[in-house]
Structure 1
C-alpha cells in the first residue's frame, strides 16, 4: 500500500489501513477503553466519524486531500472491544472535488454510513499561512 496522505494520523484512534487502491480503501479500528463516552462502554461517535473520514482520505489518496463536507448517519451504537471496518469508495471524481461514500461495519451490521465531499487543491491548504 502506497499511502500518499495523512501520514501523521494516530492509527490507534483513526484506524489501520488494510487495503488501499485507486478510489478505494478498507480501514480497521479496534474500539478501546480510551474511546468510551461513559461507563457503559459506549464509544463516542467522533471516533467512528474519524475512522470514516480517514478511510475517505485514503480512498482519494492524494497528499493535499482535505474534507469539505460530510453527510452522515449513525445507525447503531459501538462498544469497547468492537472491531470496526470502514469501506470507502470514490464516486465519480469531478476535477478537484471528490465524493466518497463510506460504510462502517461491525461484523455483519452497518453502524455508520456517510458521503464525504473531499477536495484536492493544487497545494496544501496551509501553504503560505
Structure 2
C-alpha cells in the first residue's frame, strides 16, 4: 500500500515501515547510540513514543492525519542495539476520530503500549496558518 502521510519523517529516528495495510502498520527501529539517555545505553522514551506515533499515523495513512492525544505505558526499558517493532491497529477506521492501538515489541517482550487518538481534518493543519 502506498504511504500517504509523514513522507519526510526521519526514518533513522522514527523507524522504517515494514507493513502498511488498510488500518494497520508495522514499523521497525534499531536503537542507535544517539538515542541513549545515559552512559548505560538506556534509550530515551521519546524515541519509543516517536516510533509508536509514526506507526499510528501509518495505520490511518491519510495526508492530513494529526495526533490529538495519547495514553501510553512504558513497560520495560530499551537499550542501544535493541530492534523494536511497533504494531498499530486502527480500531475505529470509519470514524472522524481514529483510536489506534499500538504495541512496541523487542523480541517477544512488549516494552510499550498505548492508544493514540488521531484526527483527519479536511485540510492540512498548517494550511492558512
Give the alignment's TM-score, normalised by structure 1.
0.98
Q: Deviations over 1:18-59 (max 9, x none)?
A: 010000000000000000000000000000000000000000
Please state whether the residue corresponding to 2:55 is helix, strand or coil.
Answer: helix
CA distance in 2, matches of 1:11, 1:30: 10
Which consecutive residues of structure 2, in runs of 5 or more, have no partner in the other structure? none
Please state whether the residue corresponding to 2:91 is helix, strand or coil.
Answer: strand
Query: Does residue 41 of structure 2 align to residue 49 of structure 1?
Result: no
Please state whether the residue corresponding to 1:117 is helix, strand or coil.
Answer: strand
1:89 maps to 89
2:108 maps to 108
Q: Deviations over 1:92-127 (max 9, x none)?
A: 235321000000000000000000000000000000
2:121 maps to 121
Please state whether the residue corresponding to 1:93 is helix, strand or coil.
Answer: coil
CA distance in 2, matches of 1:96, 1:14: 25
1:36 maps to 36
Equivalent residues, number: 129
Q: Deviations over 1:40-83 (max 9, x none)?
A: 00000000000000000000000000000000000000000000
**What's the C-alpha RMSD, in Å, of the aligned pairs?**
0.7
Query: Does residue 7 of structure 2 align to residue 11 of structure 1?
Result: no
Stretches of 4+ moved more than 6 A in 1?
A: none
Give the alignment's TM-score, normalised by structure 2.
0.98
Which consecutive residues of structure 1, in runs of 5 or more, have no partner in the other structure? none
